Structure 1
Amino acid sequence: MAQIKGKLKRPFIWQTMTLHQLQVFEATARLGSFTRAAEELHLTQPTVSMQVKHLAKAIGAPLFEQIGKRLYLTESGQVLFKTCQEVFERLDRLEINLFELKGVAQGRLRLSATTTAKYFLPKLLTPFCQQFSGINVSLEVGSHDTVLDRLNDNLDDIYIFSRLPKRDDIEIKAFLCNPLVVVAPTEHPLMHKPQVTLTDLAEYPFVMRERGSATREAADHLLRQQGIPVRVKLELGSNEAIKQAVSQGLGLSILSLHSLTDRDSELQLSVLNVDHFPIHQQWYTVFPKEKILSTVARTFVDYLLAESSQYCQVHPISIAQTTHIANLESNQQRMEASLVS
């Protein structure tokens, strides 16, 4: 240790901590749990607790306070957590810059998408990963509010929404159609009508997505606009659960066409030909305006814009007029084939 005029020079705080300790602390603070941090980092819970304890000793102040089973950041912890996020973001940027200097698309791509995207995004990601084998992709899927929270915390490179956040500080690119259709059991009485009106729908109960979901918001907006009251018998937060409920005769539903797959053939689901349907929605890529996209992220956005245009060559109206799920799937398979080719 250096000596100045007979006095020992004290080390900076950052010299008394390790990068590993900061990683452990950041995960614990972000997840709010020693146990969940241990699972994410593939460590034992005592190891995580000990690393945080050593870091608090180096800082000279407690980083967490535990009330019941919940962890809360202290004021010092909040300052350190924000610093950790900035440090790790700069380190990620360093890695990206080094790859960009080499002129190759390599590195990590972090995506976050709302739940219905899980039906089509893997199909788009597969050829992308095959084409760019040097890119490692992570995908987080959650509710609209969950993805919005991740956007607010700047946790990912690209965010995928079907209902846009109401804010002006984001870049938006529409890349894929998202038609919403009315789904019924194959033996439903309305299946015998070549053209179903919204008034017809009002006579039957509905099984709907939870309030706040993009699908529910779009459906409610159309029905309110047309002055059609519908009876929502059941609200569910999962498309899979809704399809099961519809197949059991609990009601009609309004779902994204993308959520109907060949695995649903056993459920005997059908798409009704209804006035004002499909509801024309879009999928969007979103990222903060101030964010400088990496080569990897830019490559992915360009890829989505190019490939998804082929995915929507079949017009949603022609799809919605199909009645049985088997016929619906043949249309989807043709779209997927055009995507892969």
Structure 2
Amino acid sequence: MTTQWTRGVSLRQLRIFEAVARLGSISRAAEELHLTQPAVSMQVKALDGLIGLPLIETLGKKLRVTDVGMEIARHARAIDHQLAEAEAALAQMASGHAGLVSVGVVSTAKYIAPKLLMAFRERYPDVQVRISLHNRDDIFRQLEDNLIDLAIMGRPPAALGCEAHVFAEHPLSILACEGHPLTGSGMASVEDLGREAFLIRERGSGTRVTQESFLIEHGIRPTEIIELPSNEIIKQAAIAGMGLAFLSEHTCQLELRTGVLRRIAAPGTPVIRNWHVVYRDRKNLLPAAQALRDFLLTKGGGLVNAQVTSAQPA
């Protein structure tokens, strides 16, 4: 490996290679960056030569990023984020609460985050909010790599040094299609629920962790567990009668209001969790990020609660 290779590398080379690694294609990277494919290939080859270790491999027509390449791409993203932070800091020095805030949102929170962030933008119109949507494990990685300023999520990471502040309650319920016998039979028993199939999110989802804990705690052993990759698919599967859903009530306000999904009364439900605003404990939050954190803590609960349906339709 070439020593002191960082002295020769350019920010342009790092940005180009990050695009290649992220998209898995030189042609797609060229299209995104508005460059020619030969120009992208030349910069990747130059960076490869500076480092002295292969960054990509081509197997037939497929491009594979090596472990070294993945590490370089990760640092490239962090460097780009730090430069954006520097740019935002200068903007804030010039005009107060202005600049950029990067917010990671867990997939379940996509039903509440837009309203929260729009209300924040109305108060701070000069702040640009950049949102990324991922499952819980990916948000952990973004926090760890310092790619986001704040995260909106349920359970905060225990092993990662973070500050986490509750700003709203987060109810989760067992839901079934309209006409399901358990929706109109009073309190469902463990035995009743054990005779049903349950729909469950993919691994890495916070909702899945909560659902598994609930089933174990109450001794519920479903006849079948059906894994599905998103809340939207789970809602449609539940509406079709494939099984019972265990979902955040924030994800299904329309379905509850129209009656195509109905709550099942069961011991321990709704399960009340909390929404948190999370950031690294040693992170120096710039004024715009501080403003968003404080806004969520003072106004977020009221805005979120206003979205929750208090009762099922008659």
TM-score range, shorter chain: 0.7 to 0.9
**Counterpart contact for 2:168–2:305, Cα < 8 Å:** no
Distance 1:14 1:149, change over 3 A: closer
Q: Alpha-carbon deviation of 1:198?
A: 3.2
Distance 1:315 1:260, change over 3 A: closer
**Counterpart contact for 1:105–1:134, Cα < 8 Å:** yes
**1:66 paired residue among 57, 82, 86:** 57
Match of 1:116 in 2: 108
| Equivalent AA in structure 1 for residue 312 of structure 2 | T
| Equivalent AA in structure 2 for residue 66 of structure 1 | E
Counterparts of 1:246 and 1:287, CA distance in 2: 35
Match of 1:256 in 2: 248
- Structure 2-normalised TM-score? 0.85
Counterparts of 1:123 and 1:266, CA distance in 2: 21
Distance 1:83 1:183, change over 3 A: closer
SS in structure 1 at match of 2:131: strand
**Counterpart contact for 2:253–2:307, Cα < 8 Å:** no
Structure 2: segments with no counterpart, 5+ residues: none
Match of 1:107 in 2: 99
| Equivalent AA in structure 1 for residue 237 of structure 2 | A
The residue correspondences of 1:120-131 to structure 2 (distance < 5 A) are: 120-131=112-123
Distance 1:86 1:118, change over 3 A: closer
The residue correspondences of 1:113-262 to structure 2 (distance < 5 A) are: 113-262=105-254
Q: Which has the higher contact order (CA 8 A, sep 6+)?
A: 2
Q: Alpha-carbon deviation of 1:197?
A: 2.9
What is the Cα-based RMSD across aligned positions, in Å?
3.1
Counterparts of 2:158 and 2:51, CA distance in 1: 42
Match of 1:334 in 2: none
Q: Alpha-carbon deviation of 1:226?
A: 2.0
Distance 1:37 1:174, change over 3 A: farther
Deviations 1:102-129 (A, max 9, x none): 3511111111121111111011111222
* Segment of structure 1 superposing worse, 101-110 or 21-30: 21-30
Q: Alpha-carbon deviation of 1:183?
A: 0.6
Q: Alpha-carbon deviation of 1:141?
A: 0.8
SS in structure 2 at match of 1:53: helix
**Counterpart contact for 1:272–1:323, Cα < 8 Å:** no
Structure 1: segments with no counterpart, 5+ residues: 1-11, 328-341
Match of 2:39 in 1: 47
Distance 1:45 1:141, change over 3 A: farther
